[in-house]
Amino acid sequence: ESLDSRPQLRDLLKMKNGFAPHRLLPFVSVSLCASLQMGSLRPPYTMSSCRCACVMAVEPAHLGCTSIVGAPAALANASAWTQLVPVAAKGRASGLVSTALLHSLRRSTWYLHEYGHFVAIQRAVDVAASAHRGQLRKNGDPFITHPIETAIILAELKMDIDTIAAGLLHDTVEDTPLTLTDLQTMFGSSVSAIVQGDSKTTKLEWSRESLAALDPVERRELNHRSMLLAMGADWRVVVVKLADRLHNMRTLQFMPRHKQVAIARETIEIFVPLARRVGIEQFEYELLSLAVDYLFPQELKGLFGLKLLGHWARVQFWGVLDDFLLRDTVLSELDVQAQLSSHRRRWETHRNYWAAACAR
């Protein structure tokens, strides 16, 4: 809301005419931020003035400059934006997504509700919802619920605007007519690069005939290689992929049994070690717990418990990711293993930044 209509908030923040919202310190008031987090005070949903009630700086310094901020398309006026959006992605999310889910996304991304960021998030939701129009998940829900839930998981980690947008758009290139060029035009190179890193290379670069000739193991290794190469270049690719897998694991009960076992095993072999290597403990433990729940019959879970079975599963599949990183010629030559390990420092810097901000 405009500060002109909220004089008490203007006095609280002690803003002057011409104050730039992105210069604001991460947290201005302990009481204001506590209210926002607890839900007793709504974040500003509409920004009718450039001098807006903003709680958070655009990006922490350790994340660097994001491409959305420098992409004129994502922040263009309504008429210019309409001309840029491909026909397959035209439309609004309001009629395609439940109000409760949109409200949940808005509340979870309160720390990004600076004017330009709010517009970029809304446009990413509109593009994703329109592109996935008519697609359903196994449980019968509209497919768009998955990207939005993925973005909410990312927002819980206080990821930057590019990562949130990539979470919303991460399945568009694989499953819709949208291309990486379309995403780059609309949201910038960083978003398109993250989406490309989280997309299966066999779907993007291989014809249907060539794909049919591939052995399932070869296809899986190709996808893992391209994914790990992208993860080595940008740590945010790892976080988006882990959030994507986490939501898929939370809804795995709707898949056939043989797919449940295959996905759960891949989760323990690849994604649990990835979460551990980067240092995102909440992802590591929840992914492991969910995977163990699907891998073992109810009798064993009742006899030994999920914790003990989780330790056994770790030992059983220990080193699968490391072996693949060393065995694959491309990954070993580029030393992707060391690149992934270096991402731990970036995650710790991000986590510590927000821990200090919340403490203030």
Tell me how far apart the alpha carbons of residues 128 and 81 are, in angstroms, rounded to a whole number: 15
Within 16-137, residue ranges assigned H as helices are 30-38, 78-84, 99-108, 115-131
State both tokens at 47.
Answer: 């920004």
Tell me how far apart the alpha carbons of residues 58 and 114 are, in angstroms, rounded to a whole number: 7
State both tokens at 318.
Answer: 């220990």
- For residue 103, the number of C-alpha atoms closer than 13 Å in the C-beta half-sphere is 5
Residue 175 a catalytic site member: yes
Q: Say which of 141, 162, 171, 175 is annotated catalytic.
A: 175
- Report the first-to-last Cα separation within the chain, whole angstroms: 25
Tell me how far apart the alpha carbons of residues 356 and 89 are, in angstroms, rounded to a whole number: 40
Neighbours of 337 (CB within 10 A): 18
State both tokens at 146.
Answer: 């998955």
154 strand-pairing partners: none
Tell me how far apart the alpha carbons of residues 176 and 199 are, in angstroms, rounded to a whole number: 12
Tell me how far apart the alpha carbons of residues 207 and 202 are, in angstroms, rounded to a whole number: 8
Query: For the chain, what is the total number of helices (H) and then of strands (E)?
Result: 22, 0
Tell me how far apart the alpha carbons of residues 165 and 169 are, in angstroms, rounded to a whole number: 6
Tell me how far apart the alpha carbons of residues 22 and 17 are, in angstroms, rounded to a whole number: 14
Torsion of CA 143, 144, 148, 149, to 10 degrees: -20
Q: Say which of 4, 126, 171, 174 is annotated catalytic.
A: 174
Residue with tokens 């979470």, as numbered in its chain: 167
Residue 215 a catalytic site member: no
Catalytic residues: 174-175
